[in-house]
Amino acid sequence: MKHEQILEQVSRIVAETLDIDDLRLDPAMSAADIPGWDSLTHVQIMVAVERAFGIRFRTGDIAGMATVGELVTRVEARFTRH
Amino acid sequence: MSMTPAREAARHGGATLDWLALVQAWSTADYSKAISLSRRLKVLAATPEIHERLVPVRLAILSSATIEFLRPVLEGALLAAGLNPTLHVSPYGQVSTSLLQASGPLVDFEPHVTVVLTASLHVPGFPPLTASRDEVERTVDEVCHSLIAPCVAFNERTGSEIVLNNFHPLPGRPAGNFGAKLPGDPTQFIRRLNLALSDRAPRSVHIHDLVSLAERRGVDAWFDERYWYLAKQPVSFESAADYCRSLASLVGALLGRTRKCLVLDLDNTLWGGVIGDDGVAGIQIGEGTALGEAFKAFQQYVLALKQRGVLLAVCSKNDDRIARSAFTDHPEMVLRLEDFVAFKATWRPKSEQLRAIAAELDLPLEALVFVDDNPAERDEVARALPEVAVPDLPDDPGAFLRALDAAGLFEMVTLTAEDVQRTATYQVRRQSIEAATGTTDVGAYLASLDMTAMVRPFEPMAFERITQLVNKTNQFNLTTPRVVLAEIQRLASDPAAITRTVRLRDRFGDHGLISVLYGHVQADCLVVDAWLMSCRVLGRGVERLLLNELLASACARGMQMIVGCYKATNRNELVRGHYDSLGFSRYSGGDAIGSPGAEVWRLMVAGAVPLETHIATQD
């Protein structure tokens, strides 16, 4: 799966979790740029992303993702290990 | 009361059907799906139509763990269980303090139910691995007391019922298999603590049995330490919805929202096969076959429900006498006639039979759970009687037990002498009450099935199935002929014969080849020699469709009348009125046509009009 495809699917998951229609994520965005993305919904997003891609983030990685681009990179890294 | 969705919506309002669909989806949703379903349940719960059906509950939650992630899902679970919750969440970690305070926000909230959620990792006082048995027992006593005493004090002060969970084992076995012999092993300690909680919790403290939930899932799936370290999440997200569903069932039971009567279909639900066709010796129940054992296990589970106070009833499309014979005559039947407080085996729509059962037992429809292997029957009941719980069953009878159990419809919070006696009490009542009857809109129900039939003459591909269906059908069979495949083959190529098969499909799937008819031309008569149908599609109007076919054939061949016979056997009482209902009259001049003892009926072709059906045809 390519970087752009992952970004697209992550966008969909975030939009669904935050209940926002028509959300377009940019790799440079951080949680603070997206309304509703707080510490509670962050975990919900991580859970949904893990489920959608069939991956498990490492314990230390779940909290420490500063930008959308970093999240996508982590997904890519876990995903390609299969 | 069978209706099309549109009519149904008019009776119940559209919100009810939307609600039912959401509740059904809820029953299997995972965490992420549950969050969005909960959102939609909340919106619908605000409409007056749904609001009035829900039982309000004030629920307090005290936890040493984080419940913010569970909260939206728990709200959804409570709504889906028919409760309208107002939640109060006490500050993180202040469980005992909150319970013991004589005043404060928790007391002011006046909870009906208080849930004390303690995570296994927060159990105080794990003993050292090498602790002696006495030391461990002392610790168990202390921990058990420290958990229960504040609950009892709070209950005495406020009257709130308390829900206390027990504890799943932790990951890790520091002593390996030897831990099983080591009292201080963390898993051994947890097990001893759980037993002590069960033994010592008083009536007002209800155990939420997380251990059995965790065991079913496996502890590795139940608990995800990553999210514990990160956010003190006591249950893995994978299992969070299960946790909430189970808790909601328990809270519902505390509020009296529990089902009282399990209404069961018979054929292919309590045994394998069709009693009317296969006979007592032919159905699968009991040892000997895998399927028979599966049905036996399911019956044993149902019997256990009865023993703890759930009423049992039968709702089957069957001949009453034949249906009862399965219970009286089959040596391996686990359930017996006296286990049932109502027994409806008729050919009426099931929703109608369920209404009669509720009336007979003087129970509200909300008290009933309907279990049937056939999705079309489940759908008819769910639409006509949304108050009745209709759990989805898998297509494997071996999995019925788990499916019904997982639905959590029969939670209980006490066991009384009355529970144990309940069936006997109702048995006495029943003898003095006449079954009430309801009405139904069958046509609208049939239309909603989207049926399509394929009517064909006998074709080589189907010879085997035709032979099988002719020989094994006993109930809907006018003359009960027994044939070999060669006879079917001969009929197919005989120009004087008329042969038809019907395949039926509806929105639930393909029923396959379900009806067979054949006859011959004799002077100006079209004589029907065999007419039979699988009882699975009884009451769908397939016989009316076939009559229209016969009429068309008779016209095309210039026949004046259609002649048919009914030959009574001890199995085919069901079709005694078959020709009468299709507009035929008795034909006294037709004795030469029918075999001795058969009733002969005829329909004049001139003036006969095709009958209305709800089945589309396809070539």
Nearest to B32 among A47, A57, A62 (CB): A47
* B314 has pLDDT over 50: yes
Token pair in block for residue B66: 């984080």
pLDDT in tens, B124-180: 889 999 999 999 999 999 999 999 999 999 999 888 999 999 999 998 899 999 999
What residues of A are in contact with residue B36 (Cβ under 8 Å)? Answer: 16, 19
* B35 has pLDDT over 60: yes
Q: Which of B565, B254, B253 is nearest to B409 (CA)?
A: B253
* B381 has pLDDT over 60: yes
CA–CA separation, B3 and B12 (whole Å): 11
* Mean pLDDT, range B98-102, rounded to an integer: 86
The conformational region for residue B13 under phi > 0 = left, psi -120 to 50 = alpha, else beta, is left
The conformational region for residue B101 under phi > 0 = left, psi -120 to 50 = alpha, else beta, is beta
* Mean pLDDT, range B306-323, rounded to an integer: 94
Q: Let me know: does B224 contact B230? Beta carbons within 8 Å.
A: no
Which residues lie closer than 8 Å to B310 by C-beta, 6 or more apart? B259, B260, B261, B262, B410
* Mean pLDDT, range B448-457, rounded to an integer: 91
Residue B237 at interface with chain A, using a CB cutoff of 8 Å: yes
* Mean pLDDT, range B185-197, rounded to an integer: 96
Confidence of residue B6 (pLDDT cuts 50, 70, 90): very low
Residue A21 at interface with chain B, using a CB cutoff of 8 Å: no
Residue A57 at interface with chain B, using a CB cutoff of 8 Å: yes
What residues of B are in contact with residue A62 (Cβ under 8 Å)? Answer: 226-227, 230
Q: Token pair 């006082």 is at which residue?
A: B125
User: What size, in residues, is chain A?
Assistant: 82
Of the spans B13-17, B137-141, B568-572, B584-588, which averages the highest pLDDT?
B137-141
In chain B, the percentage of residues whose pLDDT exceeds 70 is: 94
Nearest C-alpha of chain A: how many angstroms from B550?
Answer: 56
Q: Which helix (H) or strand (E) holds B140?
A: helix B133-158
B345 bridge partner residues: B316
Nearest C-alpha of chain B: how many angstroms from A40?
Answer: 7
Nearest C-alpha of chain A: how many angstroms from B243?
Answer: 17
pLDDT in tens, A13-32: 999 888 888 788 888 888 88
Residue ranges in B567-606 assigned as alpha helix (H) = 578-581
Q: Which residue of A has its CA nearest to B239?
A: A47
Nearest C-alpha of chain B: how many angstroms from A78?
Answer: 16
At B510 the pLDDT is 76
User: What size, in residues, is chain B?
Assistant: 619
Q: Which residue of A has its CA nearest to B224?
A: A59
Which residues lie closer than 8 Å to B147 by C-beta, 6 or more apart? B116, B118, B164, B197
* B315 has pLDDT over 90: yes
Token pair in block for residue B493: 């190529």
Confidence of residue B472 (pLDDT cuts 50, 70, 90): confident
Which residues lie closer than 8 Å to B413 by C-beta, 6 or more apart? B206, B250, B253, B254
Residue B42 at interface with chain A, using a CB cutoff of 8 Å: no
Q: Let me know: does B360 contact B430? Beta carbons within 8 Å.
A: yes
Nearest to A47 among B36, B39, B237 (CB): B237
Q: Token pair 């079917």 is at which residue?
A: B488
CA quadruple A17, A20, A22, A24: dihedral positive or negative?
Answer: negative
Give the other-Cβ count within 10 Å of B163's Cβ. 22
Contact B230 A62 (CB under 8 A): yes
At B254 the pLDDT is 86
Of the spans A7-16, A23-32, B416-425, which averages the highest pLDDT?
A7-16
Nearest C-alpha of chain B: how many angstroms from A59?
Answer: 5
Q: Which residue has the higher pLDDT, B254 or B452?
A: B452
* B201 has pLDDT over 50: yes
Q: Which of B602, B499, B603, B612 is nearest to B545 (CA)?
A: B612
Q: Which helix (H) or strand (E) holds B533?
A: strand B525-533
* Mean pLDDT, range B85-112, rounded to an integer: 88
CA–CA separation, B350 and B263 (whole Å): 10
* B439 has pLDDT over 70: no
Q: Which residue of A has its CA nearest to B236?
A: A47
* Mean pLDDT, range B492-517, rounded to an integer: 90
* B428 has pLDDT over 70: no
Alpha-carbon distances, residue A12 vs A49, B179, B490 (angstroms):
10, 47, 63
Give the other-Cβ count within 10 Å of B280's Cβ. 17
What mean pLDDT is reported for chain B? Answer: 89
Residue from B30, B36, B226 to probe the interface with A (highest A Cβ count within 10 Å): B226
Residue A61 at interface with chain B, using a CB cutoff of 8 Å: no
Nearest C-alpha of chain A: how many angstroms from B73?
Answer: 12
Q: Let me know: does B90 contact B105? Beta carbons within 8 Å.
A: yes
At B576 the pLDDT is 92
What residues of A are in contact with residue B237 (Cβ under 8 Å)? Answer: 47
pTM given for the model: 0.73
CA–CA separation, B258 and B413 (whole Å): 10
ipTM of the predicted structure? 0.87
Alpha-carbon distances, residue B190 vs B143, B163, B614 (angstroms):
11, 18, 62
CA–CA separation, B594 and B529 (whole Å): 9
Contact A44 B30 (CB under 8 A): no
At B9 the pLDDT is 44
In chain B, the percentage of residues whose pLDDT exceeds 90 is: 63
Token pair in block for residue B494: 């005989």
Residue B31 at interface with chain A, using a CB cutoff of 8 Å: yes
Lowest mean pLDDT across A67-81, B416-430, B431-445: B431-445
Nearest C-alpha of chain A: how many angstroms from B66?
Answer: 11
Q: Let me know: does B534 contact B469? Beta carbons within 8 Å.
A: yes
Token pair in block for residue B246: 């189970």
Nearest to A51 among B32, B229, B231 (CB): B32
* B491 has pLDDT over 90: yes
Contact A47 B229 (CB under 8 A): no
Contact A40 B69 (CB under 8 A): yes
Give the other-Cβ count within 10 Å of B9's Cβ. 16
Contact A56 B231 (CB under 8 A): no
Which residues lie closer than 8 Å to A13 by C-beta, 6 or more apart? A45, A48, A49, A52
Give me the long-range contacts of B583-587 (CB less than 8 A, separation at least 24).
B583/B608, B583/B611, B587/B563
pLDDT in tens, B39-96: 999 999 999 989 888 889 999 999 988 888 999 999 999 999 999 999 999 887 778 8
At B552 the pLDDT is 93
Contact B229 A59 (CB under 8 A): yes
Nearest to A19 among B39, B227, B230 (CB): B39
